Structure 1
Amino acid sequence: MEVESPGACPLKQAGDLPIQMAALPNGKRIPLLKTLLTAVCENNCTYCAFRRERDFRRESFQPDELADAVMRLWRAKVIEGVFLSSGVAGGGARTQERLIAAAEILRHRRGFTGYLHLKIMPGSEYAQVLRSMQLADRVSVNLEAPNQSRLNQLAPDKTFLGQLLQPLKWVDEIRHNQEPQAGWKGRWPSSTTQFVVGAVGESDLELLETSAHLHHGLHLSRVYFSGFSPVRGTPLEDHPALDSWREHRLYQADFLLRDYGFELEDLPFEGAGELPRDIDPKLAWARAHLIDAPVEVNQADLQDLMKVPGIGPQGARAIVSARRQERLRFLGDLRRLGIAAERAAPFVAFSGKRAAYQLRLF
């Protein structure tokens, strides 16, 4: 979606605002305002509506103006949180100072206790990253691309390691080396990133290699895959939008890497490093590995149980807990535990016996 003047959004009527229902780390969903401190940007990203060479009307706020606008919406119970970002104006460090100033006004002068997701600008300094973490419930740095080669095509003014990945490394270092009492409400914020998918020929393998490192090396809570959509007046305006199935499969695969004990080599990449679009990657793995070697429900460990379609982390824990009391014998036992038993049926056994199930005709 193209937004011509996002900086002015908080001053419009509530129905015109960029407010969306957002899922918090604890699973709660809240109305979240997404806004920019300024739509002015000195970077010239090839896909972005706010690139410096694009001709459109731009708006900016002073930090206290934005804080006051957010407070009006929060006190009116229109929103429960805010996602605060900005175009880069005067360098990443100067822009981050202004974002921090807005967050400090919200927290310490206006009494805002709602949810705050604070963007960390490319090129931010260590002290700024630390201060952002002391004010926010979540921080994020948009990597945009999985490596420097792809970033050169998407955002030629940015450096992958120095400007983008380094702040995420600092976030992880701070969480591990400093006491959480220094964070907002006595805990450090979660961290996320976002990739632009489908604009410059990156493969699923490239994206998920980087994603796996972010989850396991830097402990990011989420990696977002933003399907490319062309914007008028940018170099990629004639490039086709991403097939939504690709975005869907990337999320499925990323959750397998993050939560289900899968390794990168477990994923069913095809010749050019792409995931198949016509099948869930977990189901593809199970068909290749479990049809002739079903998982024994009464003996398998958590990791093996989670590799069965229809069984997630919660279901696997429920199985382990239930079998301490009694042996599980039928698919009905799995259903009672809240597991999608029909999906699991072809891939499990009960004390050496394959599950009895009805084959699907379609």
Structure 2
Amino acid sequence: MVQLSLQRKLAILSDAAKYDASCASSGTTKRNSSKTGGIGSTEGSGICHSYAPDGRCISLLKILLTNYCSYDCAYCINRSSSNVQRARFSVEEVVGLTLDFYRRNYIEGLFLSSGIIQSADYTMEEMVRVVRTLRETHRFAGYIHLKVIPNASADLLIEAGKWADRLSTNIELPTDASLDLLAPEKRPGEIRTAMAKINHARTESRPDGKVAGRRKPTRLAPAGQSTQMIVGADGSNDAMVLQRSASLYAGYGLKRVYYSAFSPIPDASSRLPPAAPPLLREHRLYQADWLLRFYGFNVDEVVSGGTDGQLDLAVDPKLAWALKNRGRFPVDVNRAPRELLLRVPGLGVRVIDRILTTRREHRLTLADLARMSGAIDKVRAFVEAADWTPGGLTDDARLRAKLVPPPQQMELF
């Protein structure tokens, strides 16, 4: 067996980790390194960049413990039948790399996943050893995101949550039937059971009492748990993808569902499509997910703007819904409740909060809205203000053409 250098291992195992999209680090409780006497902070080849809700860019060392794997998932480059170069880090090597990258100011945390070696418990135990060593021995206070091996023991999952800021268990595909077909060693029930165990343990770890009207953060995995779905590897449409997401949010208290467009791999199975889906589909799913979580939409409403259960790729899902429901507009920005303002294309949550605050002091004009929103050309067709009414603009048959941005431009809402 050829002995690989640490640098070569890093090249192989960071490249192998790039297909996992769920490495955001928002929502964590800061570990105070000045109090623990440790190093690292969750603020401020193998490095990924994630963005917190406030816009901060957070850099993570993103690697696999190993790309050896006993599973043969058809969509995975690291499947057991894949002809890729294999490598494996020792626990000590991952710890050393993390500390060295942090001291050089390259990273603010670690994202660690792994192929399945020997057994689920063995793999999970090795990953837990990494994060426990970082926290206990080296007082590392940076952000840690740990992937969960679904059928590992409950005790290991709970211990993982003790040391990691976030845990994620990938649901992989939108339907159980697709997972059975493309990843026969994986059991959908085991994945959901792992999520349920983590959610229950996090709830049980929450201190009693409230802080500023909100529940205190959990002691286990304070940044919550997330998952990832591969989009375009099976025949599931966007409605099926979003229905699965909605059920996961409701049932397991997930912080995020990440969507990863299927990427064709060498020597691919005939069960897989020959080409990747358009990346714009992934972007539209993220926009739709945002509407489900923060704007009061349900799945049927979100996909109603497209056809055959697919989101409209040319138009963001909120605008697509508004164009299909023009009878609900215009909305009076000086009188409408928050839930109606959330339906207006071009108005985000923060802008709406400003509207609600400012209109207590004076009636809002279109110029006021223009100062608050960067998308006034989209907004004006769907609102009334003190000095503005859209008249027939809302019903104009050419409105869609006027509002659709050029293909190269992507915006949230």
Q: Letter of the aligned partner of 1:9 in structure 2?
A: L
Asked if 2 retains the 8 angstrom alpha-carbon contact of 1:7 and 1:35, the reply is: no
Displacement of 1:35 = 0.3
Query: Relative to 1, partners in 2 of residues 1:185 and 1:160: Cα closer, same or farther, differing over 3 Å?
Result: closer
Matched, 1:173 2:200: yes
The one-character-per-residue Cα deviations of 1:9-29 (angstroms, maximum 9, x if unpaired) are 17999xxx1212212365421
Out of 188, 191, 200, the position equivalent to 1:160 is 188
Partners of 2:333 and 2:374 lie apart in 1 by 12
Counterpart position of 2:338: 302
Counterpart position of 1:99: 127
Displacement of 1:209 = 0.2
Out of 37, 47, 63, the position equivalent to 2:91 is 63
Displacement of 1:355 = 4.3
Aligned residues: 353
Counterpart position of 2:276: 241
Displacement of 1:184 = 8.6
Counterpart position of 1:21: 49
Q: Any gaps of 5 or more consecutive residues in structure 1? A: none
Counterpart position of 2:239: 205
Query: Relative to 1, partners in 2 of residues 1:187 and 1:268: Cα closer, same or farther, differing over 3 Å?
Result: closer
Matched, 1:146 2:178: no
Q: Letter of the aligned partner of 2:174 in structure 1?
A: P
DSSP 3-state at the match of 2:303: coil
RMSD: 2.9
Partners of 2:81 and 2:173 lie apart in 1 by 21
Partners of 1:283 and 1:361 lie apart in 2 by 9
Displacement of 1:338 = 3.8
Out of 99, 106, 112, the position equivalent to 1:78 is 106
Asked if 2 retains the 8 angstrom alpha-carbon contact of 1:10 and 1:70, the reply is: no
Q: How does 1:148-297 map to 2 (within 5 A)?
A: 148-162=176-190, 164-179=191-206, 188-235=222-269, 239-269=274-304, 270-290=306-326, 293-297=329-333
Q: Letter of the aligned partner of 2:315 in structure 1?
A: I
The answer to which of 182-191 and 279-288 deviates more is 182-191
Q: Any gaps of 5 or more consecutive residues in structure 2? A: 1-5, 15-44, 209-215, 405-413
Counterpart position of 2:3: none
Displacement of 1:152 = 1.4
Query: Relative to 1, partners in 2 of residues 1:116 and 1:184: Cα closer, same or farther, differing over 3 Å?
Result: farther
Q: Percent identity?
A: 34
Partners of 2:335 and 2:348 lie apart in 1 by 17
The one-character-per-residue Cα deviations of 1:213-270 (angstroms, maximum 9, x if unpaired) are 2223323222111111111133157721121121111111111111111111212344
Asked if 2 retains the 8 angstrom alpha-carbon contact of 1:134 and 1:184, the reply is: no
Counterpart position of 2:379: 344
Displacement of 1:300 = 1.6
Asked if 2 retains the 8 angstrom alpha-carbon contact of 1:199 and 1:239, the reply is: no
Displacement of 1:157 = 0.7
- TM-score relative to the length of structure 2: 0.78
Displacement of 1:175 = 2.7
- TM-score relative to the length of structure 1: 0.89
Counterpart position of 1:331: 366
Displacement of 1:7 = 8.3
Partners of 2:217 and 2:131 lie apart in 1 by 14
DSSP 3-state at the match of 1:61: coil
Partners of 1:352 and 1:217 lie apart in 2 by 46
DSSP 3-state at the match of 1:118: strand
DSSP 3-state at the match of 2:228: strand
Asked if 2 retains the 8 angstrom alpha-carbon contact of 1:197 and 1:226, the reply is: yes
Query: Relative to 1, partners in 2 of residues 1:7 and 1:169: Cα closer, same or farther, differing over 3 Å?
Result: farther
Asked if 1 retains the 8 angstrom alpha-carbon contact of 2:234 and 2:273, the reply is: no
Asked if 1 retains the 8 angstrom alpha-carbon contact of 2:65 and 2:113, the reply is: yes
Matched, 1:50 2:78: yes
Partners of 1:186 and 1:361 lie apart in 2 by 45
Partners of 1:200 and 1:98 lie apart in 2 by 32
Partners of 1:196 and 1:30 lie apart in 2 by 24
Q: Letter of the aligned partner of 1:58 in structure 2?
A: R
Partners of 2:328 and 2:196 lie apart in 1 by 43
The answer to which of 79-88 and 229-238 deviates more is 229-238
Q: Letter of the aligned partner of 1:313 in structure 2?
A: V
Counterpart position of 2:213: none
Partners of 2:125 and 2:92 lie apart in 1 by 13
Displacement of 1:299 = 1.7
Displacement of 1:186 = 8.2
Displacement of 1:344 = 0.9
Partners of 2:273 and 2:13 lie apart in 1 by 32
Partners of 1:268 and 1:12 lie apart in 2 by 38
Partners of 1:344 and 1:122 lie apart in 2 by 45
Displacement of 1:318 = 0.9
